Amino acid sequence: MRVLVATAVPAERDAVAAAFPAPARERVAPGVVLRSVALPGAPGPARSGDGPFAADLLAAGVGPAAAAASAGAALAAASLGGAPYDLVVCAGIGGGFPPDAPVGSLVVADRITAADLGAETADGFVPVTELGFGVVTHVPPASLVREAAAATGALTGAVLTVSTVTGSAGRAAELRRRHPEALVEAMEGFGVAEAAAAHGVPVLEVRAVSNPVGPRDRAAWRIGEALAVLTGAFGKLAPVLESWNRHDRTH
Ligand SMILES: O=C(O)c1cccc(C(=O)CC[C@H]2O[C@@H](n3cnc4c(=O)[nH]cnc43)[C@H](O)[C@@H]2O)c1
């Protein structure tokens, strides 16, 4: 099982790497720097398939555009190198919609939705799909979401991708009105999912909640706590990913 894990920033990538026993090895591909980790007994980076878990970790940049470009470059490099990825995981910290996703909780996305990809109209926000373009939601494999949540104790729900961090109660309420099922907002999931979809690879998104979505209070973000939750989650997630087989477990 070959997995690409895309985070926004190096601190999130390193929190994922800390879940693995051996230090990560660095590799450079055109446009990206990858850190490779593995469970003991896993094949090297040149092998693919449903065998033991091996992952490439990528600090893909902040926001959906940077994340899509970086993830797309990593996916293309792996394919051209003859060792395509079996799964892409977008991981990191995120804002939780109170009270459902409190600070310190973990969320596995059952929907990855671009919440601000559309047009403002006199009647309010209209998603691009209603304008006749593209997609605004990617759906991770249900069996993988179920198994990942069961193993980690995560909540499951929609994770919104935004290009602007919410900074007011009004905006938080508006997002929740449009997406009542949303638990988290973050900034990369939809971009990573678009890249994965372009390569025909399934996607998962995992977020550790560092702050409530609402009025801006950056000093109150519990980044260290959320990064520790992310490390703990990947310790439990890796064996699940190792045993999950995309070819016969798509539901
Ligand atoms: O300053 C640090 O040490 C540090 C360490 C790790 C991560 C960060 C970030 O600022 C990550 C930015 C990343 O986090 C997501 N995020 C977190 N909370 C929210 C939110 O309320 N709304 C939207 N996005 C959020 C997002 O994916 C950013 O890319 C700093």
Rounded to whole angstroms, the Cα distance separating 159 from 233 reads: 17
Torsion region of 31: left, alpha or beta (phi above 0 gives left; psi -120 to 50 gives alpha): left
The dihedrals phi and psi of 248, each to the nearest 5 degrees, come to -120, 10
Rounded to whole angstroms, the Cα distance separating 192 from 44 reads: 24
- Distance (Å) from CA 18 to ligand 1 centroid: 18
Any atom of ligand 1 within 6 Å of the Cβ of 223: yes
Alpha helices in the chain (DSSP H): 10-17, 64-80, 142-152, 169-178, 189-198, 223-243
Any atom of ligand 1 within 6 Å of the Cβ of 93: yes
Mutation to probe ligand 1, out of 9, 16, 216 (largest number of atoms < 8 A from CB)? 9
- Distance (Å) from CA 93 to ligand 1 centroid: 6
Any atom of ligand 1 within 6 Å of the Cβ of 92: yes
Q: Are 92 and 139 a contacting pair, CB within 8 Å?
A: no
Which residue ranges form the domains of the chain, and what is each CATH number? 2-243 (3.40.50.1580)
What pTM value is reported for the model? 0.94
Atom of ligand 1 nearest to the CA of 212: 21
HSE-up of 242 (CA within 13 Å, CB side)? 18
Any atom of ligand 1 within 6 Å of the Cβ of 116: no
pLDDT in tens, the chain (251 residues): 899 999 999 999 999 999 998 888 999 999 999 999 988 765 554 344 445 778 999 999 999 999 999 999 999 999 999 999 999 999 999 999 999 999 999 999 999 999 999 999 999 999 999 999 999 999 999 999 999 999 999 999 999 999 999 999 999 999 999 999 999 999 999 999 999 999 999 999 999 999 999 999 999 999 999 999 999 999 999 999 988 876 555 55
